[in-house]
């Protein structure tokens, strides 16, 4: 678990540092025109800007508390059901590494750096980052194993 969580955290933080130091905030760079861009946006809220309109101090405390709680739950789940199940351990590690990456952003900036931006015509997915991707992929793998493999 430590390797995957650490690798996820490292890639997440390195990509955010690169974006932070090479893109002015708000800049958009088209990679695949009409489909994929790199952007530099700051997200004070949760996924899709959830709760971003709340008071900054309350929002920061809320997301810091949720992040610590999630990390504790993931660690507990790993100890309870991840040992000896490599896919479950990897999924939990991805979630743990992603949650850690976004927690570091919230501690440093009181917001999260997002930079991956997908769109097709008028359809636009909100920008996200490596941590969000790892959390999503890890959750899908974990749910698959919970439902199909009945861990």
Q: Are 119 and 101 in contact (CB under 8 A)?
A: no
Task: From the candidates 12, 105, 114, 117, give the one annotated as an active-site residue.
Answer: 114
Instruction: State phi, psi for 81 to the nearest 5 degrees.
Output: -135, 0
Q: Are strands 112-120 and 28-32 parallel, antiparallel or unpaired?
A: unpaired
Q: Are strands 123-124 and 36-43 parallel, antiparallel or unpaired?
A: unpaired
**Active site includes 105?**
no
**Active site includes 114?**
yes
Relative orientation angle of helices 86-109 and 56-77, to the nearest 10 degrees = 160
Q: Alpha-carbon distance 119 to 32, whole Å?
A: 10
Active site residues: 114, 132
């Amino acid at each position: 678990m430590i390797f995957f969580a650490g690798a996820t955290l490292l890639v997440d933080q390195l990509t955010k540092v690169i974006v932070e130091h090479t893109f002015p905030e708000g800049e958009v760079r088209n990679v695949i025109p009409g489909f994929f861009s790199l952007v530099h946006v700051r997200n004070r809220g949760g996924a899709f800007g959830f709760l971003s309109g709340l008071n900054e101090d309350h929002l920061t405390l809320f997301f810091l508390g949720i992040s610590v709680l999630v990390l504790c739950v993931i660690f507990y789940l790993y100890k309870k059901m991840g040992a000896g199940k490599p896919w479950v351990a990897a999924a939990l590690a991805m979630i743990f590494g992603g949650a850690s990456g976004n927690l570091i952003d919230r501690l440093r900036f009181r917001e999260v750096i997002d930079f991956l931006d997908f769109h097709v015509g008028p359809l636009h997915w909100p920008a996200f980052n490596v941590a969000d991707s790892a959390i999503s992929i890890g959750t899908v793998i974990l749910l698959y194993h919970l439902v199909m493999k009945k861990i």
